[in-house]
């Protein structure tokens, strides 16, 4: 039968998913450790053998092989803008949506010290923004000059004031800086435009980063490493919500990915105020928005999760635990390979998952702020209103292995005790049991109708 | 190139109607207007002016607390590198009926280039802007 092989070169595991394109079914999945230090294909072949084992006697013929990757540290980026709350924030959001890990966000004119700091962080790509179209040019040109002086081998995406573009291109050409220029991330005040920058970042990722990370070998066998893994998840989310040409989507949704090191939240929703009389303030939000919480995770980041949440907040989810919360969190950070076995260990992990979900959602969603006036209270909203979002979808080990995934995800829903956070009130909870989201994002790139139908079939009610 | 204005209503003031009228009046007069709307803090005005490289900031205050809300704006503009940017204020800047020349003096002392009494027509401001910007 004709099939498509979808590959996720993850930071820890290389995961394979074989899809029967005719019947739109998942034939088999397999994984093995990622081997990026030696040769990325060793781990791939190990996983592939397991996959073949599972497909024995099926006579599968792969007509297409598509991959995404977060191996070798993922796509590491620096975002630069002018005002922290405006173009610097817009640049950060564009980079996050492109699936990047943000190493730093810089604003105003860079100093030489900051330039050195940027170099020390070893980014894969720098995103340079600043100024609305027709707005401030001095800052972005200053920063372009400084970059040209100090950096030769890091690709730069220029997505700032269009009126500064010619001058920046001249500077970069004269200094042999590899760059690509695209539309401004904030063409008008408070209006964001992240898609063009995201696409250019993806192109550079395919053209340069894959090779720089020693993954060129893989491209002999597969059709291409198309995007960073988080970008694939966001792509899947968008396809599932909006649908494709032939297949209807399921509507506005939120995806929570609770990992060992980070908790990612993706929302596909307009986020307009749902309550009358609320004034929307601040920078416009992307329709497809991704946030990454680097301090909230189940293992590598369990100690920082405890620091962010505090003992009481975690304890709220496991009042009777025998563990000392702080100690256990620190222990898990030191022993990242712990797989919970006993009831108590499982419950502790669930509580960490709930805490991560609760805080990550608080940071992702918009907030209502009340302003007291002689007239009484008036309300303003900053960020996305996700109260009426229909679906909350969970992915990641702790959810897949827990007997109560819906309980974990419910920690991310509206809480009457903290009504200012505009979290979904009563969403339908779905679980990505077969771990197909990144694979479906890849599939959606080429076969959107099929990707939407398969996701509808395989995401299960919790 | 069109001259750029940042327009908004300062402080916890939610009177939205006049702001819309001013936006249309200034736009029609040939300015590029970045309207940050109601409930705007001093920082919102300044950030918008930096990114857009604005020539003037037009502050409205309708609810009577204008004087408190506007205090320190000029100093913050200087601090943010917006040296010499035009600052205008208008609306119902203070509570009740006060002698206008006193109010005006207080706003000019705060570093505003111009301040307008209640009922000033947008056209007055447009003429002043053209003068101040050297049209
Ligand atoms: C409608 C209204 C409201 C509505 C606002 C709805 C909304 N979201 O827009 C509500 C009911 C919410 C409201 C609330 C309050 N209001 Co009220 N409100 C009014 C009212 C009746 C009309 C305002 C209006 O829309 N006018 C029409 C527009 C076109 O005119 P405008 O806003 O004045 O704007 C024009 C000019 O002022 C000028 N202008 C404005 N800014 C600038 C700037 C420059 C540089 C220039 C040149 C010109 C300029 O040009 C504009 C366009 O022509 C006025 C009374 C009045 N008749 O003006 C009171 C009034 C403004 N409110 C007043 C007050 C006190 C309040 C409250 C504090 C409590 C109260 N008593 O109701 C609260 C404050 C709420 C808050 N946090 O902001 C007072 C202000 C008193 C003062 N400054 O001395 C007024 C004057 C009523 C009064 N006489 O007591 N209000």
A134/B50 touch (CB, cutoff 8 Å), yes or no: no
Q: Tell me phi and psi for residue A271, to 5 degrees.
A: 75, 15
Nearest CA in chain B to A130: B51
Ligand 1 center from residue B107 Cα (angstroms): 19
Return the ligand 1 atom nearest residue B15 CA: 9
**Ligand 1 pocket check for B24: Cβ under 6 Å:** no
Q: Inform me whether the C-beta atom of residue A137 falls under 8 Å from chain B C-beta atoms.
A: yes
> In chain A, which segments carry CATH 3.40.50.280?
75-209
Ligand 1 center from residue B17 Cα (angstroms): 8
Measuring from atom 29 of ligand 1, which residue has the nearest CA? Answer: B18
Name the fold adopted by A2-72+214-223. Answer: Nucleotidyltransferase; domain 5 (3.30.420)
Burial readout B85-104 (b: 16 or more C-beta within 10 A, e: otherwise): bbbbbbbbbbeeeeeeeebb
CA distances from A327 to A256, A333, A345 (A): 26, 10, 13
Q: Which domain holds residue B41?
A: 4-132
**Ligand 1 pocket check for B17: Cβ under 6 Å:** yes
Rounded Cα gap, residues A435 and A29, in angstroms: 9
Helices (H) and strands (E) counted in chain B, each on its own, are 6, 5
Nearest CA in chain B to A160: B51
Report if pTM > 0.80: yes
* pLDDT for res B92: 94
Q: What is the CATH number of the domain that holds B58?
A: 3.40.50.280
Rounded Cα gap, residues A137 and A177, in angstroms: 19
- The CA-CA-CA angle for residues A320, A325, A329, to 5°, reads 135
Q: Inform me whether the C-beta atom of residue A373 falls under 8 Å from chain B C-beta atoms.
A: yes
Q: What is the tens place of the pLDDT at every residue in A287-311?
A: 999 999 999 999 999 999 999 999 9
Mutate to test the pocket of ligand 1, among B15, B21, B35 (most ligand atoms within 8 A of CB): B15
**Ligand 1 pocket check for B61: Cβ under 6 Å:** no
Rounded Cα gap, residues A4 and A16, in angstroms: 10
**Ligand 1 pocket check for B19: Cβ under 6 Å:** no
Regions of chain A with pLDDT less than 70: 373-375
Q: How far is A276 from chain B (nearest CA, A)?
A: 14
Measuring from atom 20 of ligand 1, which residue has the nearest CA? Answer: B15
Half-sphere exposure of A143 (CA within 13 A, CB side): 31
Convert A364-430 into a string of H (helix), E (strand) and C (coil). Answer: HCCEEEEEEECCEEEEEEECCCCCCCCEEEEECHHHHHCCCHHHHHHCCCCCCCCCCECCCCCCEEE
* pLDDT for res B98: 85
Return the ligand 1 atom nearest residue B114 CA: 45
* pLDDT for res A435: 87
Q: Which of A83, A279, A371 sits opposite B50 (nearest CB)?
A: A83
CA distances from A217 to A121, A211, A404 (A): 26, 8, 41
A359, A304 Cβ separation under 8 angstroms: no
Reply yes or no on whether B13 is catalytic. yes
Measuring from atom 30 of ligand 1, which residue has the nearest CA? Answer: B18
Q: Which two tokens stand for residue A189?
A: 């005040």
Q: Which of B14, B51, B63 sits opposite A83 (nearest CB)?
A: B51
A132/B1 touch (CB, cutoff 8 Å), yes or no: no
pLDDT mean over B79-92: 93
* pLDDT for res A462: 73
Please determine, for residue B1, whether its predicted confidence score (pLDDT) is greater than 70: no
Q: What is the tens place of the pLDDT at every residue in B19-53?
A: 999 999 999 999 999 999 999 999 999 999 999 99
B47/A380 touch (CB, cutoff 8 Å), yes or no: no
Question: How many domains does the structure of chain B reveal?
Answer: 1
Reply yes or no on whether B109 is catalytic. no
Burial readout A117-132 (b: 16 or more C-beta within 10 A, e: otherwise): ebeeeebbbbbbbbbb
A134/B14 touch (CB, cutoff 8 Å), yes or no: no
Name the fold adopted by A75-209. Answer: Rossmann fold (3.40.50)
B50/A380 touch (CB, cutoff 8 Å), yes or no: no
Return the ligand 1 atom nearest residue B60 CA: 41
Q: Inform me whether the C-beta atom of residue A454 falls under 8 Å from chain B C-beta atoms.
A: no
* pLDDT for res A221: 81
Q: Which of B12, B14, B52 sits opposite A135 (nearest CB)?
A: B52
Return the ligand 1 atom nearest residue A373 CA: 77
Q: Which two tokens stand for residue A265?
A: 């939240």
Q: Which two tokens stand for residue A33?
A: 């450790």
Q: Which of A82, A279, A378 sits opposite B50 (nearest CB)?
A: A82
> In chain A, which segments carry CATH 3.30.420.40?
2-72+214-223
């Amino acid at each position: 039968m004709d099939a498509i092989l979808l590959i996720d070169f993850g930071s820890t595991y290389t995961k394979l998913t074989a899809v029967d394109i005719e019947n739109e079914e998942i034939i088999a999945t397999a994984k093995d450790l990622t081997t990026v230090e030696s040769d990325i294909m060793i781990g791939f072949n190990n996983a592939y053998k397991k996959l073949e084992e599972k497909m024995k006697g099926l006579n599968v013929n792969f007509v297409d092989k598509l991959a995404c990757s977060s191996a070798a540290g993922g796509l590491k980026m620096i975002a630069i803008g002018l005002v922290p709350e405006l173009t610097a924030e817009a640049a950060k959001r564009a980079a996050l949506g492109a699936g990047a890990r943000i190493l730093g966000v810089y604003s105003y004119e860079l100093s030489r010290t900051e330039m050195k700091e940027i170099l020390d962080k070893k980014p894969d790509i720098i995103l340079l923004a600043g100024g609305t179209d027709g707005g401030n040019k001095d800052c972005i040109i200053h920063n372009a000059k400084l970059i040209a002086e100090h950096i030769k081998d890091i690709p730069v995406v220029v997505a700032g004031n269009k009126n500064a573009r010619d001058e920046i291109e001249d500077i970069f050409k004269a200094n042999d800086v590899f760059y690509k220029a695209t539309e401004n991330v904030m063409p008008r005040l408070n209006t964001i435009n992240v898609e063009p920058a995201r696409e250019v970042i993806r192109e550079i990722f395919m053209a340069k980063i894959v090779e720089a990370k020693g993954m060129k070998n893989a491209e002999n066998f597969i059709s291409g490493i198309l995007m960073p893994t988080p970008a694939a998840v966001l792509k899947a989310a968008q396809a599932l919500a909006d649908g494709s040409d032939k297949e209807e989507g399921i509507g506005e949704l939120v995806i929570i990915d609770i990992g060992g090191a980070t908790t990612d939240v993706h929302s596909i929703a307009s986020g307009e105020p749902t309550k009358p009389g609320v004034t929307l303030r601040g920078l416009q939000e992307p329709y497809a928005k991704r946030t990454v919480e680097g301090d909230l995770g189940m293992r590598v980041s369990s100690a920082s999760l405890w620091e962010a949440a505090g003992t009481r907040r975690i304890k709220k989810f496991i009042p009777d635990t025998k563990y000392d919360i702080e100690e256990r969190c620190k222990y898990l950070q030191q022993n990242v390979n712990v797989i919970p076995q006993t009831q108590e260990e499982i419950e502790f992990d669930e509580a960490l998952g709930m805490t991560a979900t609760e805080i990550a959602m608080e940071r992702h969603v918009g907030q209502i702020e009340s302003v007291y006036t002689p007239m009484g209270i008036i309300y303003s909203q900053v960020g996305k209103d996700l109260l009426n979002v229909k679906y909350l979808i969970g992915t990641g080990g702790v959810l897949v292995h827990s007997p109560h995934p819906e309980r974990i995800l419910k920690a991310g829903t509206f809480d009457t005790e903290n009504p200012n956070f505009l979290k979904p009130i009563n969403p339908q909870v779905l679980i990505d049991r077969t771990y197909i989201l990144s694979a479906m994002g890849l599939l959606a790139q080429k076969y959107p109708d099929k990707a939407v139908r398969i996701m509808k079939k395989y995401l299960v009610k919790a | 190139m069109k001259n750029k204005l940042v327009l908004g209503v300062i402080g916890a003031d939610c009177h939205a109607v006049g702001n819309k009228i001013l936006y249309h009046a200034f736009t029609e007069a040939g300015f590029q207007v970045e309207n940050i709307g109601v409930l705007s803090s001093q920082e919102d005005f300044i950030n918008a002016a930096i990114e857009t490289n604005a020539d003037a900031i037009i502050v409205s205050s309708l609810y009577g607390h204008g004087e408190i809300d506007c205090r320190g704006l000029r100093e913050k503009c200087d601090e943010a590198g917006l040296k010499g940017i035009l600052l205008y204020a208008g609306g119902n800047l203070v509570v009740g009926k006060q002698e206008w020349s006193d109010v005006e003096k207080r706003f000019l002392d705060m570093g505003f280039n111009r301040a307008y009494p209640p009922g000033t027509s947008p056209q007055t401001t447009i003429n002043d802007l053209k003068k101040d910007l050297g049209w």
